[in-house]
């Protein structure tokens, strides 16, 4: 980030659109101020979308330009200019831009040193081990600065590109040694392929945790191995594929740890917090490293660079800790929502259980009634029949014909007539049917209750 577009106000409270561009070679900041009345939407969009990408944009004639020396201890803006929003960008620029300037100066030193080595390589007619070692030592020193992030990516890539060209020139002179290097890479590749074949066979039937640890060990050994570019790419693809296969076997092709949208958001937040904490930890380690190395700096330029990096890292840690604090607040809010959701789901499950139990009871009673229905129907029919028989009128008595009195016999006195027996039988059937119906109705009422 060497260009900034931001709104600000001057000492007269007049709103202005500012463009800030770092000039690392001159160790200064070029500030252009455009009055608000001369800024339209198109100009603002061009400055943000084109000018920041180093494309040409025409500034209005009313633009005021000032150059401000870059200082670690002072803001990149004059005291009379106040930004409306984006103060964090200005603070970052104050700590990061001095690092960029010093990186440019350090790059100039390395460019000059690399130029001397290039002159030696171009003058060689045969391979020279001394020049090769010198170039190797130079690249080791540059790599140290790349690891410390003391060089910008564009600078490190430019140095790397030129260094690789010189290495290629020397390797062409060292054809026989290069052949041995390729042979060693092929042998080492064969060894790793054998190990990976065994790992892939174990994935089908083995314990995933143990296989994962074994694969991690192979990966660490692979990183320290010396391979050609092609061999390294092929082996890396196999190792990466084995890791993916283990995860697929263990968790499934579409494994998803989140049960719902809220849980997924919570899990994602935990992952982001973990990454942020790790990032802060790396920055703190880097800060400790710079503090230890600042007293052993190789020259004043490196000491200045490390001091500037200390300020940049401290600002980076401060910004990340603020974001982590916001994440922790969000985490607490999500935990509260998740707890409420769990209670709600538990209540819903309880209600489902009660409803299922009620439905089961109703079904059982309905089945019981269905089984008793034929019996009740039969009893009802019996009751109806008994009522009909009990209420049937008796046949009219035959007229009595006067006869002479006859002395009663024993047989006639003790034997009832046929009509009296029939009436008694009907009365008994009716009474039995009524009693039975009353009992059945009592049982039915009890079941319904």
Domain ranges of the chain: 3-85, 86-173, 184-255
Q: Check residue 50 and give its pLDDT.
A: 85
Sheet of 15-23: strands edge to edge?
A: 64-69, 28-35, 15-23, 3-9, 82-83
Give the number of other Cβ atoms within 10 Å of residue 313's Cβ.
Answer: 23
Q: What is the DSSP letter of 38?
A: G
Q: Check residue 321 and give its pLDDT.
A: 92
Phi/psi-derived region of residue 65, left when phi > 0, alpha when psi is between -120 and 50, beta in every other case = beta
Q: Check residue 380 and give its pLDDT.
A: 66
Does 251 or 105 have the greater pLDDT score? Answer: 105
Cα–Cα distance for residue pair 283/303, rounded to 1 Å: 19
Mean local confidence (pLDDT), 167-194:
84
Q: 424 pLDDT exceeds 80?
A: no
Contact (CB, 8 A) for 54 and 83: no
Mean local confidence (pLDDT), 353-363:
88
Q: What number of CA atoms fall less than 13 Å from residue 13's CA on the CB side?
A: 0
Q: Is the pTM for the entire model greater than 0.75?
A: no
Q: 88 pLDDT exceeds 70?
A: yes
Q: What is the DSSP letter of 340?
A: H
Q: Which of 58-62, 296-300, 308-312 has the lowest mean pLDDT?
A: 296-300
Structural element, H or E, at residue 367: helix 300-390
Cα–Cα distance for residue pair 231/192, rounded to 1 Å: 11
For 37-79, how does the pLDDT look when each residue is reduced to its tens digit (9 = 90+)?
Answer: 888 888 888 888 888 888 888 888 888 888 888 877 777 788 7
Cα–Cα distance for residue pair 159/108, rounded to 1 Å: 10
As a whole-number percent, the residues of the chain with pLDDT over 70 amount to 80
- Residue 233's pLDDT band (boundaries 50, 70, 90)? very high
Max mean pLDDT among 36-40, 116-120, 250-254, 256-260 falls in 116-120
Q: 341 pLDDT exceeds 70?
A: yes
Mean local confidence (pLDDT), 319-340:
90
Does 270 or 208 have the greater pLDDT score? Answer: 270
Contact (CB, 8 A) for 192 and 220: no
Contact (CB, 8 A) for 47 and 61: no
Q: Check residue 260 and give its pLDDT.
A: 65
Cα–Cα distance for residue pair 82/91, rounded to 1 Å: 13
Q: What is the mean pLDDT of the chain?
A: 78
Cα–Cα distance for residue pair 138/118, rounded to 1 Å: 12
Q: 428 pLDDT exceeds 80?
A: no
Mean local confidence (pLDDT), 175-189:
81
Cα–Cα distance for residue pair 145/301, rounded to 1 Å: 13
Q: 379 pLDDT exceeds 70?
A: no
- Residue 403's pLDDT band (boundaries 50, 70, 90)? very low
Contact (CB, 8 A) for 163 and 201: no
- Residue 253's pLDDT band (boundaries 50, 70, 90)? low
Alpha helices per DSSP H over 204-260: 208-224, 229-251
Q: What is the dihedral of CA 166, 186, 223, 232, to 10 degrees?
A: 70
**In 3-state terms, what secondary structure has residue 204?**
coil
């Amino acid at each position: 980030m060497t260009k900034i577009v931001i709104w600000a106000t001057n000492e007269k409270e007049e709103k202005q659109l500012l463009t800030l561009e770092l000039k690392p070679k001159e160790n200064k900041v070029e500030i252009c101020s455009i009055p608000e009345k001369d800024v339209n939407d198109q100009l603002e969009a061009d400055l943000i979308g084109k000018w920041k990408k180093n494309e040409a944009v025409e500034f209005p004639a009313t633009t005021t330009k000032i150059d401000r020396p870059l200082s670690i201890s002072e803001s990149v803006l004059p005291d009379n200019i106040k930004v409306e929003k984006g103060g964090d960008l200005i603070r970052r620029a104050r700590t990061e831009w001095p690092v960029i300037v010093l990186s440019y100066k350090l790059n100039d030193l390395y460019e000059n040193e690399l130029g001397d080595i290039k002159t030696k390589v171009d003058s060689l007619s045969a391979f020279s081990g001394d020049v090769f070692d010198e170039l190797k030592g130079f690249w080791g020193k540059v790599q140290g600065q790349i690891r410390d992030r003391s060089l910008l990516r564009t600078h490190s890539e430019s140095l790397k590109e030129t260094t690789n060209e010189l290495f290629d020139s020397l390797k062409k002179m060292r054809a026989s040694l290069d052949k041995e290097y390729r042979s060693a890479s092929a042998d080492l590749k064969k060894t790793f392929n054998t190990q990976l074949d065994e790992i892939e066979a174990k994935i089908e039937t083995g314990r995933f945790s143990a296989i994962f640890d074994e694969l991690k060990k192979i990966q660490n050994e692979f990183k320290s191995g010396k391979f050609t570019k092609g061999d390294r790419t092929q082996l890396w693809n196999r190792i990466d594929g084995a890791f993916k296969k283990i995860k697929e076997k263990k968790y499934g092709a579409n494994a998803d740890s989140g049960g719902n949208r809220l849980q997924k958001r919570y899990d994602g937040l935990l992952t982001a917090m973990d990454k942020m904490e790790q990032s802060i930890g790396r920055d703190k380690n880097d800060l400790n490293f710079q503090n230890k190395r600042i007293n052993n700096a190789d020259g004043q330029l490196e000491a200045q660079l490390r001091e500037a990096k200390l300020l940049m890292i401290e600002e980076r840690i401060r910004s990340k800790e603020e974001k982590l604090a916001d994440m922790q607040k969000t985490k607490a809010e999500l935990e509260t929502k998740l707890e409420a959701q769990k209670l709600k789901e538990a209540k819903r499950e309880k209600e489902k259980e009660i409803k299922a139990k009620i439905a089961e009871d109703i079904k059982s009673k309905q089945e019981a009634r269905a089984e008793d229905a034929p019996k009740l129907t039969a009893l009802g029919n019996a009751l109806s029949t008994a009522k009909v028989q009990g209420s049937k009128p008796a046949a009219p008595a035959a007229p009595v014909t006067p006869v002479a009195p006859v002395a009663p016999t024993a047989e006639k006195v003790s034997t009832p007539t046929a009509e009296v027996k029939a009436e008694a039988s009907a009365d008994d059937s009716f009474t039995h049917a009524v009693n039975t119906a009353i009992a059945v109705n009592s049982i039915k009422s009890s079941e319904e209750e």
